[in-house]
Amino acid sequence: MTTEQLKLKGVGTPATRVYGLMALVALGWVLLGGLIFTPEDAVQGDAVRIMYVHVPTAWVAYLAFIVTGVASACWMIGKKHSLGFDRVAGASAEVGVVFMGMTLLSGSLWGRITWGTFWVWDPRLTTTAFMFVTYIGYLAVRGLGGTAQQRARRSSVIALLAVLEIPLVHFSVVMWRSLHQRATVLSPDGDIKMDGLMLFTLLFGVFGFSVLFAWLVSHRQRIMAMQDAQQTSALDVAVSERLNEARA
């Protein structure tokens, strides 16, 4: 493979192509299964079709914020303070914020059908909105400037505090009286009351969106690595120019 071909590849690798393809197949099934092949719900009718995208996007948002927390902890604990961990944390938070936004939107539309309103200050909705805003703040702090190590230090502290919101959001339906239903698949008694094809589509959707998350984080952390490299080389050029000016 020539150098030019490698440059055109961008940030993809054979491995990312494989799980990109896996995500494409799984999401294709969610689209077809969710809209056409799965039966309507006995109570909710066709509104239940929103579940096949609402639940996986919420799952990916949780997963993304957990990955951000774990990667930040690894950066903080590691003796080398590897920026690779910080980039994974940042890339994961970016993806998480996008998916959390989609969760809020799909939940709002679903709520309009089942509850009669787009929004209510219910414990689950309120804590979710709070978590969404927290991670937007996290991304804003990452963009404040300074060196990559400074960025990693301040954002890792916020990530480790923000990740504590996840159990609060997840158990909000148990701790307080909530309009939002409790967990169906992850119910404590393990009794899943759902049609087989509906359950398969939901779980396959969770799998597909998770693989998509892995694809996005792989690519976005490589983009961040290139942005950091660009910033470092620009800084090196500026320093050498000032030194030359001083010598002249």
Binding site for another protein (CB under 8 A): 3, 6-13, 27, 31, 34-35, 45-47, 49-50, 53-54, 57, 95, 98, 101-102, 105-106, 109-110, 112-113, 212, 215-216, 219-220, 222-223, 225-227, 229-230, 233
Question: Shortest Cβ distance from residue 248 to another protein (Å)?
Answer: 28
- State the nearest-atom distance from the C-beta of 137 to another protein, in Å: 20
> Is 40 or 241 the residue whose CB approaches another protein more closely?
40
Measured CA to CA in angstroms, residue 206 lies from 51, 53, 82, 92, 222 at distances of 11, 9, 31, 17, 25
Length of the chain counted residue by residue: 248
Name the minimum Å distance from CB 216 to another protein. Answer: 6
**Which CB sits closer to another protein, 152 or 212?**
212
Min dist. Cβ of residue 205 to another protein (A)? 11
Instruction: Please give the helix or strand (H or E) that residue 163 lies within, else none.
Output: none
What letter represents residue 121's amino acid? Answer: W
Token pair, residue 5, equals: 């071909």
**CB nearer to another protein: pick between 97 and 162:** 97
Closest CA to 55 of 233, 201, 240, 220: 201
Q: Cβ of residue 240: shortest distance to another protein, in angstroms? A: 16
Looking at the Cβ atoms of 57 and 134, the one nearer to another protein is 57
* Cβ count near 112 (within 10 Å): 13
In whole angstroms, give the CA distance from residue 46 to residue 49: 6
Contact 62, 166 (CB under 8 A): yes
Shortest reach from residue 159's CB to another protein, in Å: 21
Q: Rounded CA gap, 160 and 99, in Å?
A: 20
202/149 Cα distance (integer angstroms): 40
Measured from the CB atom, the residue of 45 and 146 that comes closer to another protein is: 45
